[in-house]
Amino acid sequence: MKIIKLFVIHILLLSSFQTFAEELRITTADVSTPENTDKTIELTLNQYNSSNYTRTFAILGGADANKFTLAGNKLTFIATAFEARSDATYRVNIKATVSSSFWFGKSETTKKTIAVTVEKFRITTADVSTPENRTILIKLTTNQDFNKDVDVIFSITNADQFEIGIINNRHLFFNYTDFEAREDHTYSVEITARRTDTGETTTKTITVTVTDLDDEAPTNIQINDAATDINGLLLLTMTRVSDL
């Protein structure tokens, strides 16, 4: 009789816990990927991630289901050209099921639609700023840099104050410039990146903003009670420097 009571209490506690527990969700976010590149996506859940639970995933279908494969919790989007269609976002419906020997044959399920957006080849280097009179090195990057099979060559046009590295053309140098050199303290250069495998090119304008170091000598120094010696040199008895 005691064993039966303990069993009933266990079931009631389990039922109560499941009632108030957070709802099961697939937490994998939508992603983007460069064109013509496979993208592997890890499917994750908000709970039940210990070894006490069995988690399975399945593709439920959808218009783009044929662009995806699934192995365990690894969802792979098959490499696709950006120009394959006008809508570059592909969607797939995923179902997750969680079970446990503690649940006496019961299981929980949840569903989510995951979207993958295919991107064209592009330069990802951001604009930068630098204090005046400093030469800086800017690393040139693209959204294909993770792909070891893709080699990219960079070149520049309208190279005002800029140079491409001779040994490594992924290095863009901005030559030291004084803040007061001109009224417009923003310098721009157009970068072109070319994939050596396909010949595809993309361009981007990168901007460097030069900031002031406030290095001009002060002009508002006030001298009081001054006198000169026999050689005409100034003798100071008190000084006050303001607004330095």
Q: Domain check: are 6 and 107 in the same one?
A: yes
Does 101 map to a domain? Answer: yes
Q: Is residue 66 part of a domain?
A: yes
| Number of neighbouring beta carbons within 10 Å of residue 97 | 14
Co-location of 19 and 106 in the same domain: yes
User: Do 21 and 86 belong together in one domain?
Assistant: yes
Domain that holds residue 134: 128-211
pLDDT digits (tens, 9 = 90+) for 197-212: 888 899 999 999 999 9
In the predicted structure, residue 100 carries a pLDDT above the cut 90: no
Closest-CA residue to 125 (of 115, 136, 117, 134):
136
Residue 78 belongs to a domain: yes
Question: Can you tell me the distance from the alpha carbon of 118 to that of 121, in angstroms, rounded to the nearest whole number?
Answer: 10
**Collapsed DSSP state (helix, strand, coil) of residue 104:** coil
Question: pLDDT of 36-54, one tens digit each?
Answer: 889 999 999 999 888 889 9
- Give the CATH number, domain containing residue 167: 2.60.40.60
**What's the confidence (pLDDT) of residue 244?**
46
Residue 58 sits in the same domain as residue 139: no
pLDDT level of residue 240 (50, 70, 90 thresholds): low
Minimum mean pLDDT among 58-67, 90-99, 159-168, 203-212: which range?
159-168
Residue 240, domain member (yes or no)? no
Residues 97, 160 share a domain: no
> How many whole angstroms separate alpha carbon 98 and alpha carbon 180?
65
177 shares its domain with 154: yes
- Residue 45 is classified by DSSP as B
Query: Is the same domain home to 51 and 160?
Result: no
Are 31 and 85 in the same domain? Answer: yes
Residues 101 and 174 in one domain: no
* 46 close to 55: Cβ distance less than 8 angstroms: no
Which two structure tokens, joined as six digits, stand for 209? 């903003």
Statement to judge: residues 38 and 108 lie in one domain? yes
Say if 170 falls within a structural domain.
Answer: yes
Contacts for 196 with CB less than 8 Å, ≥ 6 apart? 150, 151, 152, 153
In 3D space, the residue among 153, 143, 146 whose CA is nearest the CA of residue 122 turns out to be 143
228 occurs within a structural domain = no
d(CA 31, CA 113): 12
Rounded Cα distance, 59 and 143, in Å: 28
| Assigned domain for 239 exists | no
pLDDT exceeds cutoff 60 at 237: no
Choose from 6-20, 71-85, 102-116 the range with maximum mean pLDDT: 71-85
114 and 9 in a common domain = yes
Instruction: Choose the final residue of a domain: 119, 138, 159.
Output: 119
Q: How many domains does the chain have?
A: 2
Classify burial at 186, counting beta carbons within 10 Å of its beta carbon; exposed 0-12, middle 13-18, buried 19 or more: exposed
The pLDDT-based confidence of 58 (bands split at 50, 70, 90) is very high
pLDDT at 4 over 60: no
Same domain membership, residue 21 and residue 115: yes
* Domain contains 146: yes
The CATH number assigned to the domain holding 22 equals 2.60.40.10
Distance in angstroms (rounded) separating the CA atoms of residues 48 and 100: 9
pLDDT band at 160 (very low <50, low <70, confident <90, very high): confident
Q: Is the pLDDT of residue 166 over 90?
A: no
Cross-strand pairs, 235 = 227
Return the residue matching tokens 């840099």: 145
Q: What is the pLDDT of residues 19-30, one digit of tens each?
A: 446 899 999 999
